[in-house]
Amino acid sequence: MIISAAVAGMGVALLPSYLIEEELERGSLVALSDRAMPTEFSYYIMQPESKRTSNATVLFRNWLLRQVSHVPSDAAT
């Protein structure tokens, strides 16, 4: 459901890349950042290309990256 919502342009999704491989290959979702979160899992901020420069998207991405930048590197253990 969240994947469909992100593809439809309803917002961003924080998902492991293996769940959205096809969407990434088709270009229906793109990464907002190439920065990884230090966890035992990988998460990517994805969105439709058409929303990439939307002010709300940029603000959200910047906020989220600031939040995870404060996570200690050993947080996954």
Whether 29 shows a pLDDT value over 90: the answer reads yes
pLDDT for residue 74: 53
Whether 70 shows a pLDDT value over 70: the answer reads no
Residue 9's nearest CA partner among 57, 44, 42, 43 is 57
**CA 45, chain centre distance (Å):** 1
Domain contains 7: yes
Domain contains 74: no
Note the pTM of the prediction, 2 decimals.
Answer: 0.51
Whether 52 shows a pLDDT value over 60: the answer reads yes
CA dist 40 to 4, 16, 34, 70, 77, Å? 25, 11, 17, 17, 8
| More confident call, 10 vs 43 | 10
- Domain, as residue range, for 48: 2-69
Count of structural domains within the chain: 1
